[in-house]
């Protein structure tokens, strides 16, 4: 039954038409697995590899195999193949009698079996296994074998895979029904793990009763060598070594400052620019209340100022306070916070212009990468994050006379944290004035919070120069000219899949035509039906369709003025821009996109007038909702949705959701309309939906991970994070705080589970402006000589991925990323390679490799910022490894150390379980999206349709066991079984003892080495560790 005939396998079934005929037939080149696959359907193995469909490539691949089979060589290496060629050769090899091998690190080869001989009674299958064994052993071991092994007897394959440390699965689908695999059937899972035996030699098998233990093959001599090298380095370190010196915070308040005199104020007020803009300022409602506001601030330590959008509070009140203090001869240095960078610099530029000067004089701003503050600056606009950094070294804000916190209604994480800090210092700084400002907020909550400081409220009327006409969905549908087109869109929306991560219908709203008609009796019957359909539809395309029709309708009326369209996120913005650019009116529009992660230069473009004869159209997220004002906006088109992250308390994983906004957010968006003439607010939802919306949004502190905040609490010496955050205006749940502190404890940043005090490592992490996981990676990268690539990885993960995925070019984009990964099976290393390539080719390289040039430029600036911050905590950084393999393996080890416990075991098709036991899926954009039987480290996990792992790196078990904060010995017998969080890991007894000694030496070495100049012995120790990582 196992005879070799004509280049194909002859088993119980027959080889027909180039395809494998299994139990379920397969004709025409398809491979029939369980459940079919014949008739030209896509075979199951295409989920793993994607061979070319080009006949020329297929014939070329067959010729490669023919030439190899005809040669006298038993093995041929082929590092020169492209991905497409490699996958096609991999596909055709089995049918021609060859076996595809992978030796790791981008090395590939073909192997062939010795001729079958009936004399020894061995089958061709056994012969092929023997040939593969021999060739792999000659080459020092291989990672995977081709699909030629798929139909070998299971015992033969398991034996070969374990002995050869092979990686790919061959027979699991025959042994276990697919539904059992998907349901994580224990028997199938264990078989899959065994038959996928990991490349570093760990397998699943029974270890003294622990039948799910992962056996890890360590070499005791290598562990001993690394330990002795570490001990030698520790022996040379001076006793009682002190921590390296480093800077703290960004305290510009204690720098040189020259107060403004009354004469200087008079000269400034006489400037032409000041006098020219004074009449416009005088028309603002806030201007008319200048004396009342100044008197309130002089009288009370805390003032709450409420003013509708457009009243002038953001630009005018800081100027009132400045002029009032200077005219009275009192000291004045005002810090005004804004929640975003674009708000800080745009407001500063406007205020500087109103004072007749430029940024950098009386008025300046300080944001990340840009500092315009001089010794003559009296009024500083900055982000909340900048002020928090100042408080690290200047906790009572000495040097400041007034703190203005704007947009407090947004209730973002850092603003609420800042208010908690400020409330604490008010008693110590009775001379400090705190001014809280917002357009829409419940004053009672803030008055109660600052009760001890007698917080009083001043309310400013809104700017009422131009009326704003308001439309709900039911009104829009009655005036929409494209009524026929709308009917087509309704039908199309029925067939659209609902968004799995969009909020469903608001509770209590009617969902059928009759109920809508009853609730809105004046509505025509057909319109009531349309409204009911929209109430039931969560497909994002419907918002896009409606918004496009409304923009067209506004433009055709001929009324002048810009249009601001609010969309939930970047995907919708990009799609809307694409639609408008493809429309018939494209030549008459100046289209801008506004998103928080766009470069500053592109964000500033929205403030410039459009070219003559064109209408400005801005497609924006919530970024355009507050603080920034685009004066020529007349019409607002509002989807009523925003994208927010919520912390899933059950899984402790952040979940991204598209949700309905609050009424307070709606009024903010309304305030963007009618800036220069009568305007309109088009709400793409019904009045019934509006009535069901919450009054205010849920504070971010109640729906976000809190690791960075807890680290900040400890760094400021504020005690246990749980106790301090309980003082917040909206305290987070204790279990979420405890989870965040536990993560910091695992990282080694805090000394115990209370999180009240920092370790030396945590003290350094608090000075780096990145997530503590990324900060630890950065510090360890200096120790393990992989600083430059890890610097790039941290900068990118702390910002966003530079990889673009244009609509319709997803395959090409993913392939470009795979090429940049250079066979490393790491999205993180692909990021480092992308940056290195971009540095040499800039925009041209970015265009060829589907990279955002603007994002790469920002990452470049972030790297510079991180380099400067690192110099404060690292006295010196050793040269990186020159050997690419050692460098890549060192990067993997550092990723494990920094990202722990963010590890997952993938069983099949990129699906698996995290260390915490959660079902996870590698995102399709990752280079590891098709991996199976692999251990991966990841940074970002987010719930939408699945729990997606976005950026992953295949890692080994060795660094996991070395860097895991806790490794509990569970059993000692023939082997020692350790508990690694929820996993069981088994090693030989001799290895276990050496492993525990090495872990202790490594912990001491990292604790005492981070932040200090390396010695030659230090370098020898890290080299020994790097060899250990490379071998395992």
For residue 24, the model assigns a pLDDT of 30
Q: Measuring CA to CA, which residue among 770, 644, 726 is closest to residue 385?
A: 770
Range from 86-90, 589-593, 631-635, 981-985 carrying the lowest mean pLDDT: 86-90
Give the Cα separation of 550 and 239 in Å (integer): 73
> Is the distance from CB of 127 to CB of 159 less than 8 angstroms?
no
Name the strand (E) or helix (H) holding 970.
strand 968-972
C-alpha angle with apex 636: 631 to 638, nearest 5 degrees? 145
Q: What is the mean pLDDT of residues 656-671?
A: 87
Give the Cα separation of 727 and 425 in Å (integer): 13
What confidence tier does 239 reach under pLDDT thresholds 50, 70, 90? low
Specify the pTM: 0.70
For residue 247, the model assigns a pLDDT of 34
Give the Cα separation of 777 and 939 in Å (integer): 11
Whether 74 shows a pLDDT value over 80: the answer reads no
Give the Cα separation of 960 and 967 in Å (integer): 10
Whether 748 shows a pLDDT value over 90: the answer reads no
C-alpha angle with apex 644: 641 to 648, nearest 5 degrees? 130
Q: Please, what are the domains in the chain?
A: 48-197 (no CATH), 262-460 (3.40.50.300), 470-698 (3.40.50.300), 705-759 (no CATH), 767-1031 (no CATH)
Give the Cα separation of 518 and 686 in Å (integer): 14
| Paired tokens of 390 | 């100042």
Whether 21 shows a pLDDT value over 50: the answer reads no
Q: What is the mean pLDDT of residues 600-611?
A: 76
Q: Give 762-790 pLDDT, tens digit per residue.
A: 888 888 878 999 999 998 888 888 999 99
> Is the distance from CB of 292 to CB of 412 less than 8 angstroms?
no
Give the Cα separation of 260 and 268 in Å (integer): 10
* Residue 914, number of CB atoms within 10 A of its CB: 22
Give the Cα separation of 89 and 68 in Å (integer): 12
Highest mean pLDDT among 72-81, 813-822, 902-911: 813-822
For residue 238, the model assigns a pLDDT of 62
* Average pLDDT of the chain to the nearest whole number: 78
Q: Which residue has 């070395």 as its token pair?
A: 962
Q: Measuring CA to CA, which residue among 779, 740, 748 is closest to residue 965?
A: 748
Name the strand (E) or helix (H) holding 854.
helix 853-873
C-alpha angle with apex 923: 917 to 925, nearest 5 degrees? 155
For residue 734, the model assigns a pLDDT of 93
* Residue 886, number of CB atoms within 10 A of its CB: 19
Give the Cα separation of 248 and 879 in Å (integer): 26
**What are the φ/ψ torsions at residue 904 (nearest 5 degrees)?**
-145, 145
Q: Give 1012-1031 pLDDT, tens digit per residue.
A: 666 777 778 878 887 777 66
What confidence tier does 106 reach under pLDDT thresholds 50, 70, 90? low
> Is the distance from CB of 639 to CB of 659 less than 8 angstroms?
no
Q: What is the mean pLDDT of residues 873-894?
A: 81
> Quick one: how far is CA 629 from the chain centroid?
29
Give the Cα separation of 751 and 714 in Å (integer): 10
Whether 892 shows a pLDDT value over 90: the answer reads yes
What confidence tier does 203 reach under pLDDT thresholds 50, 70, 90? very low
The DSSP-derived string for 63-88 is: HHHHHHHHSS-SEEE-TT--HHHHHH
Three-state secondary structure call for residue 411: coil
Q: Which residue has 């390396």 as its token pair?
A: 1014
Burial of 286 (0-12, 13-18, 19+ CB in 10 A): buried
What confidence tier does 95 reach under pLDDT thresholds 50, 70, 90? low
> Is the distance from CB of 216 to CB of 988 less than 8 angstroms?
no
Three-state secondary structure call for residue 379: strand
Give, in order, the Cα–Cα distances in Å from 425 to each of 301, 303, 818, 853, 892. Answer: 12, 16, 52, 44, 44
Give, in order, the Cα–Cα distances in Å from 540 to each of 467, 503, 951. Answer: 31, 11, 26
Highest mean pLDDT among 215-224, 500-509, 952-961: 952-961
Range from 251-265, 332-346, 385-399, 866-880 carrying the lowest mean pLDDT: 866-880
Q: What is the mean pLDDT of residues 811-825?
A: 90
Q: Give 914-942 pLDDT, tens digit per residue.
A: 888 888 999 988 999 888 778 999 998 88
Three-state secondary structure call for residue 414: helix
For residue 352, the model assigns a pLDDT of 96
Share of the chain above pLDDT 70, in %: 74
Give the Cα separation of 464 and 474 in Å (integer): 26
Q: Which residues contact 225 (CB under 8 A, 6 or more apart)?
A: 1024, 1027, 1028
Give the Cα separation of 921 and 914 in Å (integer): 10
Name the strand (E) or helix (H) holding 144.
strand 144-145
Q: Which residues contact 539 (CB under 8 A, 6 or more apart)?
A: 493, 496, 497, 498, 499
Whether 2 shows a pLDDT value over 50: the answer reads no
Q: Give 635-652 pLDDT, tens digit per residue.
A: 999 999 988 878 777 667
What confidence tier does 814 reach under pLDDT thresholds 50, 70, 90? confident
Whether 241 shows a pLDDT value over 70: the answer reads no
The DSSP-derived string for 233-287 is: HHHHSPTTPPPPP---TT--TTS---PPPHHHHHHHHTSHHHHHHHHHHHTSTTG
Give first-to-last CA distance, the chain, whole Å: 40
């Amino acid at each position: 039954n196992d005879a070799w005939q004509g280049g194909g396998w002859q088993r119980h079934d027959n080889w027909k038409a180039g395809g494998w005929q299994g139990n379920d037939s397969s004709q025409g080149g398809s491979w029939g697995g369980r459940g079919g696959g014949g008739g030209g359907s896509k075979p199951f193995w295409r989920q793993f590899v994607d061979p070319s469909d080009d006949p020329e490539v297929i014939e070329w691949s067959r010729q490669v195999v023919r030439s190899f089979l005809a040669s006298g060589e038993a093995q041929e290496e082929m590092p020169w193949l492209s991905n497409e060629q490699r996958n096609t050769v991999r596909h055709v090899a089995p049918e021609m009698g060859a076996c595809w091998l992978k030796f790791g690190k981008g090395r590939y080869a073909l192997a062939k079996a010795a001729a079958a001989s009936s004399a020894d009674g061995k089958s061709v299958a056994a012969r092929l296994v023997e040939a593969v064994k021999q060739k792999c052993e000659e080459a020092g071991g291989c990672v995977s074998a081709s699909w030629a092994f798929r139909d070998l007897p299971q015992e033969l394959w398991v034996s070969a895979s374990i002995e050869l440390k092979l990686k790919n699965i061959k027979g699991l689908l025959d042994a276990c029904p697919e539904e059992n695999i998907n349901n994580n059937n224990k028997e199938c899972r264990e078989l899959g793990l065994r038959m996928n035996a990991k490349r570093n030699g760990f397998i699943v098998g029974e270890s003294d009763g622990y039948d799910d233990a992962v056996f890890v093959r360590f070499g005791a001599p290598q562990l001993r060598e690394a330990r002795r090298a570490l001990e030698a380095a520790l022996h040379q370190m001076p006793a009682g070594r002190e921590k390296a010196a480093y800077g703290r915070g960004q305290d510009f308040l204690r720098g040189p400052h020259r107060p403004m005199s009354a004469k200087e104020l008079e000269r400034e007020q006489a400037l032409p620019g000041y006098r020219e803009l004074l009449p416009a300022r005088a028309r603002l409602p806030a201007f008319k209340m200048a004396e009342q506001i100044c008197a309130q601030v002089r009288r009370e330590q805390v003032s709450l100022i409420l003013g509708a959008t457009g009243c002038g509070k953001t630009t005018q009140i800081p100027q009132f306070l400045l002029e009032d203090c200077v005219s009275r001869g009192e000291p004045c240095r005002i810090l005004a916070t804004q929640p975003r960078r674009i708000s800080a610099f745009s407001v500063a530029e406007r205020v500087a212009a109103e004072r007749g000067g430029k940024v950098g004089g009386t008025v300046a701003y300080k944001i990340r990468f840009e500092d315009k503050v001089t010794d003559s600056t009296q009024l500083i606009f900055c982000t909340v994050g900048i002020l928090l950094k100042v408080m690290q070294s200047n906790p009572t804000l000495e040097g400041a006379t007034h703190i203005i916190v704007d947009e407090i209604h947004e209730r973002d994480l850092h603003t609420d944290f800042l208010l908690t800090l400020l409330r604490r210092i008010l008693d110590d700084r009775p001379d400090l004035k705190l001014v809280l400002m917002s357009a829409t907020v419940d004053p009672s909550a803030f008055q109660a919070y600052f009760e001890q400081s007698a917080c009083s409220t001043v309310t400013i009327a809104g700017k009422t120069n131009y009326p704003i006409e308001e439309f709900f969905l039911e009104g829009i549908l009655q005036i929409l000219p494209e009524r026929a087109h709308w009917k087509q869109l309704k039908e199309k929306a029925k067939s659209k899949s609902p968004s799995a991560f969009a909020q469903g219908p608001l509770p209590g709203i009617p969902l059928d035509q009759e109920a809508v008609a009853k609730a809105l009796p004046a509505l025509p019957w057909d319109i009531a039906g349309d409204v009911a359909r929209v109430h039931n539809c969560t497909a994002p395309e419907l918002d896009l369709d409606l918004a496009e029709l409304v923009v067209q309708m506004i433009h055709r009326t001929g009324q002048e003025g810009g249009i601001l369209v609010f969309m939930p996120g970047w995907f919708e913005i990009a799609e809307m821009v694409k639609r408008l650019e493809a429309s018939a009116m494209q030549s008459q529009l100046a289209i801008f996109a506004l998103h928080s992660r766009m470069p500053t230069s592109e964000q500033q473009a929205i403030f410039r007038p459009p070219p003559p004869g064109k209408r400005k159209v801005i497609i924006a997220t919530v970024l355009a909702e507050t603080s920034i004002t685009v004066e020529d906006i007349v019409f607002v088109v509002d989807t009523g949705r925003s994208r927010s992250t919520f912390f899933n308390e059950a899984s402790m994983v952040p979940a991204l959701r598209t949700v309905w906004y609050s009424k307070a957010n709606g009024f903010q968006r309304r305030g963007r309309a009618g800036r220069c003439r009568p305007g309109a607010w088009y709400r793409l939802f019904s009045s019934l939906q509006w009535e069901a919306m919450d009054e205010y949004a849920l504070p971010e502190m109640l729906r976000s991970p809190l690791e960075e905040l807890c680290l900040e609490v400890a760094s400021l010496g504020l005690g246990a994070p749980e106790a301090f955050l309980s003082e917040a205006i909206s305290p987070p749940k204790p279990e979420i705080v405890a989870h965040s502190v536990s993560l910091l404890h695992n990282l080694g940043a805090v000394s115990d589970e209370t999180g009240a005090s920092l370790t030396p490592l945590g003290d350094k992490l608090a000075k780096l402006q990145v997530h503590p996981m990324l900060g630890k990676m950065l510090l360890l990268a200096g120790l393990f000589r992989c600083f430059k690539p890890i610097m790039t990885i941290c900068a990118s993960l702390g910002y966003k991925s530079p990889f673009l995925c244009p609509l319709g070019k997803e395959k090409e984009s993913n392939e470009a990323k795979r090429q940049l990964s250079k066979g490393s099976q790491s999205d993180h290393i692909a990021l480092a390679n992308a940056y290195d390539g971009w540095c040499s080719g800039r925009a041209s390289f970015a265009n060829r490799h589907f990279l955002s040039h603007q994002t790469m430029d920002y990452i470049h600036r972030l790297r510079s910022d991180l380099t400067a911050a690192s110099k404060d905590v690292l006295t010196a950084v050793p040269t990186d490894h020159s050997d690419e393999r050692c460098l890549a393996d060192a990067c993997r080890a550092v990723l494990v150390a920094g990202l722990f416990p963010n590890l997952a075991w993938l069983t099949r098709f990129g699906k698996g379980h995290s260390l915490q036991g959660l079902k996870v899926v590698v995102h399709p954009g990752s280079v590891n999206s098709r991996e199976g039987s692999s251990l991966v480290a990841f940074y970002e996990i987010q719930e939408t349709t699945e729990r997606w792992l976005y950026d992953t790196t295949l890692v080994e078990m060795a660094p996991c066991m070395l860097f895991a904060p806790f490794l509990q010995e569970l059993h000692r017998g023939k082997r020692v079984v350790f508990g690694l969080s929820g996993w069981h890991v088994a090693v030989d007894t001799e290895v276990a003892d050496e492993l525990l000694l090495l872990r202790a030496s490594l912990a001491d070495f990292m604790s005492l080495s981070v932040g200090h100049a390396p010695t030659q012995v230090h370098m020898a120790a890290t080299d020994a560790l790097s060899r250990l990582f490379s071998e395992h």
